[in-house]
Structure 1
């Protein structure tokens, strides 16, 4: 069964879902944009689990295209699923890596038993992925993923991102 796709314009840290996806950097230790907002609102529990992951399985950091879960701390969710999107390149096609972010998050969500997942527009901030292309890749990746997740919400920060994802969904 294909998950229901919903679009929301707003702040992902204000969403209620089983799992909220963090567009993290490979360090897993917080940063700017979505990553910083999730760490600030979620509280120190998220950072503590990220540090433990760095001390164990991800000493070199989380590779682009992969995903890992932690507690959601003070967010209205059970888990945060951290994924590292690729930096956009004009000379190298990295779209498979971007699609892998979404599929990896859904695999982690399935392992956790999450039925609702909220995604940001991965790689579209400081990693400069053009929104229309990122939206197309994201929507195709979640639509074709083999997942038990029932509802996927794309939480888009502004009207431009919302419109790009609305076009991709249609």
Structure 2
């Protein structure tokens, strides 16, 4: 089982082997975490994303899947891009979309491990502009990381706001997960 940490900070400043990007399907940058990673990592990341779109992913990255590029100018060697689902609200679509969010985390952690990463830092996927409920996003993230069959030895959730940090800590406590909360 990986060591799971929660801390408040800037994902782009993490000194880990890989960071996870909450990307959009185009892989060509955007706002939020995606835009911050592209800006901090430089043009090398975008160049690799464009190559992926021109070859293996002409229709973009499907929701719940993950793909890796260089870390460019980041301290991280790799950026693992994943597309989380848009919050469907309550209703019949919710369970299917929740499974896609679980897949986004599981596939990101598995890919990071296959790349050889011993450490990975992740944001709260889908909990920003995609509108996912912070409580549910945190629960899915922590539960999926804690149960991941193949993950780097260190899984660090890096959360930008104090509110999201507290939400993840509360989710870990509710789940009884063995998580190190760093204030």
Paired residue total: 169
Rounded Cα–Cα distance in structure 1 between residues aligned with 2:15 and 2:164: 20
Distance between the aligned counterparts of 2:104 and 2:70, measured in 1? 19
* Residue segments in structure 1 that go unaligned for 5+ positions in a row: none
Displacement of 1:3 after TM fit?
0.5
Q: Which residues in structure 2 correspond to 1:88-99 (within 5 Å)?
A: 88-90=87-89, 91=91, 92-93=93-94, 94-99=97-102
Of 94, 108, 117, which residue of structure 1 is paired with 2:111?
108
Pairing 1:153–2:156 present: yes
Q: Secondary structure at the match of 1:48?
A: helix
Superposition deviation, residue 148 in structure 1: 4.4
Q: Deviations over 1:39-76 (max 9, x none)?
A: 00000000000000000110000000000000000111
CA RMSD of aligned residues (A): 0.7
The alpha-carbon deviation at position 107 of structure 1 amounts to 1.4
User: Normalization by structure 1: what TM-score?
Assistant: 0.98
- Deviation of 1:10 (Å): 1.1
Please tell me whether residue 133 in structure 1 is matched to residue 132 in structure 2.
no
Deviation beyond 2 Å, 4+ runs, structure 1: none
Equivalent in the alignment of 2:31? 32
Gaps of 5+ in 2: 174-183
For the residues of structure 1 that align with 2:26 and 2:155, how far apart are their CA atoms? Answer: 26
Distance 1:17 1:168 in 2: 24
Partner of 1:163: 166
Give distance in 1, aligned partners of 2:10 and 2:163. 14
In structure 1, what is the equivalent of residue 180 of structure 2? Answer: none
CA positional deviation for 1:77: 0.6
